[in-house]
Every structure is written in C-alpha cells, then in structure tokens.
Amino acid sequence: MMKSALIAAALLGAAPAHAAGTPAAAETSIPNMSRFLEWVADGDQGLYIRAESGRWYYARLQEACPRLDNRPAMRFDAGPGGRFDRFSAIRADGWRCQVASVVHSEGPPRRGRR
C-alpha cells in the first residue's frame, strides 16, 4: 500500500515538468475535402493543404511517405461527408499513407529568394 502511494506521488510530481513543454496544436479536420485548392509537400513527413475557405492546414503522416516528395499523382481518402482528419489517408502514386494528425497552419514556409 505504501509503495503504491509513493509511486502515485512520484508520478504527480513529474506531471508539471512534462506539462511545461511546448503546447501542441489542437487537432482539427478539413471540411469538404473534395474542394481543396492546393497542397504542398513537407518532404515525406506531411503536407500543407489549403482548403476551399483559403485556410491552411498541416497533415502529418504516421510514417514517411517516400513518393510524396516528387509531386506525385495524389488522391485524398477523406471520411464520410468529405471531412479529412487523422483517420484519413492520402495515396501518392498508388502508395497509401495514413494521416496521424491534422492541425491549423500558417501555410508552407516561404522559400528564399534567388
């Protein structure tokens, strides 16, 4: 009994240190994915998607998607009603890549001028 109380106290004491990290962006979904405007790959880890509303989102993938980086033929597998969220997937040149999260974004990083 005493051992359980000590373990619980140690875990409660560690919680504030863990919570002090960088706050994560709130999970969301992209409504009406059938009418998105554009997408920009972020290497093979995710992509920025501009919705019909003009708002940008970032979809992080569960694993690297090697064909994503080459501007492949893309298909978005959205959920019922056309909502694109963490349960959705993308198909890049036939490869299925599962989405891990979708969050609001400021858009893709701007490239340097040459």
Contacts of 103-107 spanning 24+ positions with Cβ under 8 A: 103/25, 103/26, 103/27, 103/28, 103/57, 103/58, 103/60, 104/25, 104/26, 104/28, 104/55, 104/56, 104/57, 104/58, 105/48, 105/56, 105/57, 105/58, 106/56, 107/48, 107/50, 107/56
Task: Tell me the pTM.
Answer: 0.73
Tens digits of per-residue pLDDT, 18-60? 333 334 678 999 988 888 888 999 889 999 999 999 999 999 9
Boundaries of every domain in the chain = 33-105
